[in-house]
């Protein structure tokens, strides 16, 4: 039997450790190992277990030598929840993994079950990071990566529009990318995304923010009501409003220059510099300050500080739109 390298690039390393809480990335880490194993041996036996199914002694049974020397993949989900006795079994196995068997441990990270996490790393396990994407910039990076992986190009505006339209669910974002590349030839632009996902895009928190910072109060309120009716969390709307107003404040106080230079200085993509420049007409420093206060009050209201989150959001949207028009009076 061939000796396998314990390489971080080798999905057939004896042990793969997938760490994080992003379900899509965890599933992809598993799929990569299984695909590599079945490419090496089409008859690979795959055992996919939850933490409660891996009892003391179970791992020894699953990894015991076979008369047919078959390749096997053993997947253990939520490894941080394994019992103390089972953790001892896994640690013992890490010290002497069996050839032709790949153990995949899915671990949420964090303090719970950290002993097992440390032991796997010390044993030289191949590690795959699967962090939860909590920031819009991370989701934007994910979408760009999806298009590149499929060998397709999409404009920055299209990627942003897709994130605005779909939201934070990576599975839905990945599915949307797959749909677009299957249906559309050539470069995917913002207009294409708009045609496919216009209803969701108009309901997004960022559309509410865009209309508000542009001073278009009626359209912002309409988008707000649509967003709330489709289940967008109020806290996402206050976050988008805050981001929109802060971007205007940053750009208005920055030195003049090319979008690429300002992008590096302010930490924004160049295409966003152009968009914010268009939105900031009519804004004043006092307007930025008053808008941020209004958004902060709304944020407190939607997080339990008020009785009517919807009313708090409406007040904030109107205040932001009014501030956007203040310098144009």
pLDDT of residue 78: 93
Taking 50 as the threshold, does the pLDDT of residue 6 lie above it? no
- CATH of region 134-195: 1.10.8
Domain 13-128 class in CATH: alpha beta
Structure confidence by residue, pLDDT tens digits, 231-275: 778 888 998 899 899 989 888 877 566 666 676 677 766 667 777
What stretch(es) of the chain map to CATH 3.40.50.300?
Answer: 13-128
What tokens were used for 6?
A: 């314990």
At 114, the pLDDT band (50, 70, 90 cuts) reads very high
Average of per-residue pLDDT values in the chain: 86
Task: For helices 156-166 and 205-213, give the axis angle rounded to 10 degrees.
Answer: 120
pLDDT of residue 169: 81
CATH 1.20.272.10 describes domain 203-322: yes
Distance between CA atoms of residues 169 and 239, nearest Å: 17
Structure confidence by residue, pLDDT tens digits, 294-321: 999 999 988 876 678 899 999 999 999 9
pLDDT of residue 277: 82
Residue 74 sits at φ, ψ, to 5 deg, of -110, 120
Residue 263 sits at φ, ψ, to 5 deg, of -60, -45
DSSP 227-294: HHHTT--HHHHHHHHHHHHHHHHHHHHSPP--HHHHHHHHT--HHHHHHHHHHTTT--HHHHHHHHHH
At 83, the pLDDT band (50, 70, 90 cuts) reads very high
Mode of pairing for the β-strands spanning 45-49 and 126-130:
unpaired
pLDDT of residue 259: 63
* Contact present, 118 and 7 (Cβ < 8 Å): no
pLDDT of residue 253: 77
What stretch(es) of the chain map to CATH 1.10.8?
Answer: 134-195
Mean pLDDT, residues 138-145 taken together: 93
Taking 80 as the threshold, does the pLDDT of residue 116 lie above it? yes
pLDDT > 90 fraction of the chain, expressed in percent and rounded: 51
């Amino acid at each position: 039997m061939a000796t396998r390298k314990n390489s971080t690039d080798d999905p057939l390393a004896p042990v793969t450790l997938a760490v994080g809480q992003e379900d899509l990335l965890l599933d992809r880490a598993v799929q990569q190992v299984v695909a590599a194993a079945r490419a090496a041996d089409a008859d690979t036996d795959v055992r996919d277990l939850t933490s409660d199914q891996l009892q003391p002694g179970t791992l020894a049974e699953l990894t015991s030598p076979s008369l047919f020397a078959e390749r096997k993949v053993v997947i253990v989900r939520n490894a941080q929840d394994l019992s103390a006795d089972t953790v001892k079994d896994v640690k013992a196995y890490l010290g002497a993994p069996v050839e032709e068997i790949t153990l995949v441990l899915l671990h949420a990270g964090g303090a719970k079950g950290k002993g097992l996490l440390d032991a796997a790393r010390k044993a030289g396990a191949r590690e795959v990071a699967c962090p939860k994407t909590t920031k819009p910039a991370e989701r934007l990076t994910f979408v760009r990566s999806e298009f590149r992986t499929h060998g397709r190009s999409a404009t920055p505006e299209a990627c942003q529009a897709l994130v605005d339209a779909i939201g934070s669910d990576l599975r839905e974002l990945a599915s949307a990318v797959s749909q677009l590349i299957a249906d559309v030839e050539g470069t995917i632009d913002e207009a294409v995304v708009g045609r496919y996902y216009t209803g969701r895009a108009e309901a997004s928190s960022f559309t509410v923010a865009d209309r508000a910072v542009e001073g278009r109060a009626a359209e912002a309120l309409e988008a707000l009501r649509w967003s709330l009716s489709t289940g967008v969390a109020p806290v996402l709307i206050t976050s988008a409003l805050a981001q929109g107003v802060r971007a205007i404040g940053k750009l208005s106080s920055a030195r003049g220059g090319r979008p690429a230079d300002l992008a590096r200085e302010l930490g924004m993509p160049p295409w966003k510099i152009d968009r914010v420049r268009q939105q900031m007409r009519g804004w004043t420093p006092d307007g930025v300050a008053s808008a941020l206060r209004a958004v902060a009050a709304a944020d407190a209201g939607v997080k339990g500080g008020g009785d009517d989150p919807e009313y708090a959001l409406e007040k904030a949207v109107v205040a932001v739109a009014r501030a956007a028009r203040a310098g144009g009076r």
